[in-house]
Amino acid sequence: MELPIQFMTLHREPVRHQYFSKQDCRDPFFDPVVRAWIITNPSHCRDLIGSSNLRPIPYADNYNALEERLGIDFSSLAYAFKYIPVCLHADGHMRVRRRMGEFLAARKPSLNARIPQAVAAHFDAFRREGRVEVMKDAVLPLAIDIMSAVIDVDISLEDCANVSLVFDASIGINKRRRVATEIATLRDVISSRLGESATEEDVGLRLALLMFGKDSLIGTFGESLHRLLEVNSGSRLADIAYPELPPQTGVPFIERLVVTPFQLAACDFAIGDGVRIYLQSFAYGEPKSRTNFFGAGAHACLGRPLSIEIWNAIVALLSKVPLRANVLSYSARTSDYVFACPQHLQVELYE
């Protein structure tokens, strides 16, 4: 007898691979635990990603309501949300998205030069026989190196270890306080390292990129390497047919609220309903469908070119390694319910 799917944790459970590979004809349904419509059919997901019937979760409003009700200072979060496109709607979204796009475009030459160097440095352990803790030895330091280059400020993992938890609606009040404190501290760190001439926007854009970008990169490359090495167990790294795009995403779903009633697959979506759109569903069809990992149109991920450049550099390095690889152990991160990310991934390399 099949156990019921738990949608709070599906994105990090091994059963997701089988579940998403069979979802082509599944209709939407409302999950009372997640308190949202579950969308896993890739066609429905594509239709809804950029739908004007939906809006992003109003994180700032939600935290403002908590602050008023509980008397807790969440001003550091209100500041950060002003610069995160995925937290904004309509004109606010477009304005911040445009500024962030301009910021990333200006950083592109430096990033293109840094990425191959960073991958070569942090993935060096893959060139030698032995055991590699992929997350600790390669992916985590690579992500911090790249994010430091993105924002043009040197930061450490300790500076931003838990900032992405702010997107998790299920965490308790004490954890929310700790995250708010960490984000306030990170804001001060960025500001002090930029110097007195830095504007509020200079700091805010960099803070926003760290809050959402760090774990997106860590999850995407960690989960992609796990899946590739697991499927190709015992193969030489140089012999693996690497896909053009990462085969997995660290952002397993996006969540939206209905602002205009609509109908999909004979289901009525009412104003205020939550909608969970599983980007993971695109990992199990045609390889080209993985472009949908990055959204579309006005909601396309601004970090897509960066992610692809990093992936290409990782593939270029591994494609030259004659060693075989086996996954020895893996565990998923369980500190949040938002990102898909390995906590631990140990691999053995041998001739």
pLDDT of 23 reads 63
- On whether residue 135 sits in a domain, the answer given is yes
The rounded distance, in Å, linking the Cα atoms of 333 and 345 is 11
The count of domains in the chain is 1
pLDDT of 25 reads 58
- On whether residue 2 sits in a domain, the answer given is no
How much is the pTM? 0.95
- On whether residue 4 sits in a domain, the answer given is no
pLDDT of 300 reads 84
Length of the chain: 351
Q: Sign of the C-alpha dihedral, residues 86, 218, 153, 316?
A: negative
Which CATH number characterizes residue 233's domain? 1.10.630.10
Name which of 279, 320, 280 is nearest 300 in CA terms.
279
Written as six digits, the tokens of 249 are 């995403």
- On whether residue 1 sits in a domain, the answer given is no
| 8-state DSSP, 252 | -
pLDDT of 299 reads 81
pLDDT of 306 reads 96
- On whether residue 3 sits in a domain, the answer given is no
pLDDT of 2 reads 54
- On whether residue 48 sits in a domain, the answer given is yes
Q: Which residues make beta-bridge pairs with 277? A: 39, 254
Query: By residue range, what is the domain housing residue 341?
Result: 10-350
CB 307 within 8 A of CB 246: yes
In order along its 351 residues, the chain shows pLDDT tens digits of 355 889 999 999 999 998 998 865 577 999 999 999 999 999 899 999 989 999 999 999 999 999 999 999 999 999 999 999 999 999 999 999 999 999 999 999 999 999 999 999 999 999 999 999 999 999 999 999 999 999 999 999 999 999 999 999 999 999 999 999 999 999 999 999 999 999 999 999 999 999 999 999 999 999 999 999 999 999 999 999 999 999 999 999 999 999 999 999 999 999 999 999 999 999 988 887 888 899 877 788 999 999 999 999 999 999 999 999 999 999 999 999 999 999 999 999 999
The rounded distance, in Å, linking the Cα atoms of 152 and 193 is 10
CB 330 within 8 A of CB 9: no
Find the Cα–Cα–Cα–Cα dihedral 188, 189, 192, 197, rounded to 10°. -70
